[in-house]
């Protein structure tokens, strides 16, 4: 095991703590941004979307036709972006 000794001079304990906290906050923010980016890539099927919203498939179909929720087609399948649904809910657009 390799150990290193670091000597800090001319810095108060509070200043040192603030610097460490600032660096830690930057790392945490990067981690959260990375999580949010990964969340954007999640697509749900019609059934998964209905279960997520706790609605039936007919209501989901109506909301999609009215443009309240955006759907994406691939072949004969319909998908919904999970983050877009969450953003719609947050903005009270449903």
Tens digit of each residue's pLDDT (9 = 90 or more) over 13-54: 999 999 999 999 999 998 888 776 665 578 999 999 999 999
Per-residue pLDDT, 34 = 78
Per-residue pLDDT, 33 = 81
85 DSSP assignment: H
pTM passes above 0.85 = no
Looking up tokens 């095991």, which residue turns up? 1
Identify which of 58, 74, 78 has the alpha carbon closest to the alpha carbon of residue 66.
Answer: 58
CB atoms within 10 A of CB 56: 11
Q: Mean per-residue pLDDT for 1-22?
A: 89
């Amino acid at each position: 095991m390799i150990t290193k000794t670091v000597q800090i001079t001319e810095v108060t304990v509070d200043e040192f703590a603030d610097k460490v906290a600032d660096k830690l906050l930057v790392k945490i923010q990067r981690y959260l941004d990375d999580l949010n980016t990964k969340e954007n890539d999640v697509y749900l099927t019609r059934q998964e979307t209905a279960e997520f919203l706790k609605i039936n498939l007919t209501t989901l179909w109506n909301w999609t036709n009215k443009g309240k929720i955006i759907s994406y087609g691939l072949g004969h399948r319909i998908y919904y972006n999970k983050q877009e649904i969450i953003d719609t809910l947050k903005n009270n657009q449903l």
